[in-house]
Amino acid sequence: MHRYLLTFAHSLPNGGTDMTALDYATPRPITCADDIQRITTNLHRQGYDKPFVVAFSLFADPAPNPQAAS
């Protein structure tokens, strides 16, 4: 599981805009614009109106896979 600090803007009911940052977990790394679109869709399903991802940063690299001794 990859954990990111995700920062995004979204619309408020009063017409304003808010910025939100949260811990966002995903089974695969964010590598392309399609990944950002999936995140945006997920945020919208969670109730955020017109979310727009501003930035993301990986908290830590995932643990390496064990390798056989040579």
Reading the chain (70 residues) residue by residue, the pLDDT tens digits are 899 999 999 999 999 999 999 999 999 999 999 999 999 999 999 999 999 999 999 997 656 666 655 5
CA-to-CA dists, residue 59 to 4, 16, 37, 41, 69, angstroms: 5, 30, 20, 22, 29
Per-residue pLDDT at 29:
94
Q: Which two tokens stand for residue 40?
A: 């945006």
Q: What 3-state class would DSSP assign to 63?
A: coil
What is the predicted pLDDT for the residue at 48? 97
- Is residue 68 in some structural domain? no
User: Which domain range does residue 38 map to?
Assistant: 2-58
65 in a domain, yes or no? no
**Number of domains the chain contains:** 1
Model-level pTM greater than 0.85? no
Q: What confidence score (pLDDT) does residue 60 get?
A: 77
Write the Ramachandran bin of 19: left for phi over 0, alpha for psi from -120 to 50, otherwise beta. beta
Q: Does a structural domain hold residue 66? A: no
- The per-residue pLDDT for 58 is 94
